[in-house]
Copies of this chain bind each other. A is one copy, B any other.
């Protein structure tokens, strides 16, 4: 916010040719390597779809988890903008495995069928789990073997880095990710995400893809300034550390409550749990959360950079009270 106030004080060149943007890009390159091409867009759907645009032609298929944000939460933007088919892969804990992916790489060369070209993973996954660098490296190796690209939806990438206690590049640049969506909004920004192109061979036409995709901001400095602040003094890390810690605290509190089952490993800032059906609605009055699987009464509880310990404890108490 302070970064925005500062960015608001002077005139600046438009469309991202400003100093804030230049500084933010420099900082991104410290994390991802000097070859990284960095482009700012408005939102997560824009980042994912346009990043995938750089990797596909319209007769391609994109392999992803059946829970992937691009499959479940982006309307038909991937199909409509890319023309591609999303081929979904079961991933009970949110993570794709080499075996499950390989089963879907079929009929390459046969024009009757959508041609697999990209594997898209989410880091953290939609189930709040986190791929290890080794797991991602194995997937990238599979991708290379079949002449596919590896895309990463990193809308919560900061939470993954904190969870792995590893630098960003250890599980992106170094393992062979080609294109990455780097989340800003979920890490505290008002608006703005970054598409980071790690494979220089697919970077050339992104400026055209972004403009055509209606994601080029005229006053680009307002995204640049926010990312610049986020990457300064490890602000991103503090935000994500806090959110992950709150999730751990929530998990601990929930484990002590009879009738509640934690359904996924808590590795980042999300907790998945089964609640008795009757408490869900009254509890949502306390603090809104998403009922992930209505049949199983499985809920998704997300902690963010500004969730407080007090909120966690009050949520757990309220749940206790409802169950009593």
A interface residues (Cβ-Cβ under 8 A, vs B): 1, 4-5, 8, 11, 13, 42-46, 49, 57-61, 72-77, 79-86, 111-115, 185, 190-191, 205, 207-219, 222, 288, 306
Contact of A190 with B73 in the complex, beta carbons under 8 Å: no
Closest to A49 in B: B214
Contact of B1 with A208 in the complex, beta carbons under 8 Å: no
Contact of B13 with A8 in the complex, beta carbons under 8 Å: no
Q: Which residue of B11, B72, B84, B214 is within 8 Å of A213 (Cβ)?
A: B214
Interface SS, A side? loop
Besides A42-B214, A111-B212, 12 other CB < 8 A contacts? A5-B5, A11-B306, A43-B217, A59-B80, A59-B208, A75-B208, A76-B114, A77-B211, A79-B80, A79-B84, A79-B114, A214-B214
Contact of B76 with A60 in the complex, beta carbons under 8 Å: yes
Task: Decide: A58 near B42, CB < 8 A? Known: A208-B115, A211-B111, A222-B190.
Answer: no
Q: Which residue of B1, B73, B205 is within 8 Å of A5 (Cβ)?
A: B1
Contact of A190 with B211 in the complex, beta carbons under 8 Å: no
Q: A124 to B291, alpha carbons, bound, how many Å?
A: 39
**Nearest Cβ on chain B to A255's Cβ, whole angstroms:** 26
Contact of B59 with A112 in the complex, beta carbons under 8 Å: no
Task: Decide: A76 near B84, CB < 8 A? Known: A46-B214, A209-B59, A288-B13.
Answer: yes
Q: A55 to B177, alpha carbons, bound, how many Å?
A: 28
Task: Decide: A76 near B49, CB < 8 A? Known: A112-B211, A216-B43.
Answer: no
Q: Which residue of B75, B212, B218 is within 8 Å of A80 (Cβ)?
A: B212
Q: A213 to B46, alpha carbons, bound, how many Å?
A: 9
Q: A212 to B1, alpha carbons, bound, how many Å?
A: 29
Contact of A113 with B45 in the complex, beta carbons under 8 Å: no
For A44, A60, A76, A77, the residue with the greatest tally of chain B CB atoms inside 10 Å of its CB is A76
Residues on the B chain within 8 Å of A288, using CB: 13
Q: Could you name 22 residue pairs across A and B whose Cβ atoms are closer than 8 Å?
A: A42-B43, A42-B191, A43-B217, A44-B218, A45-B211, A45-B214, A58-B76, A59-B76, A59-B205, A59-B208, A59-B212, A61-B76, A74-B211, A75-B114, A76-B212, A79-B80, A79-B114, A85-B86, A111-B210, A112-B211, A191-B191, A191-B222
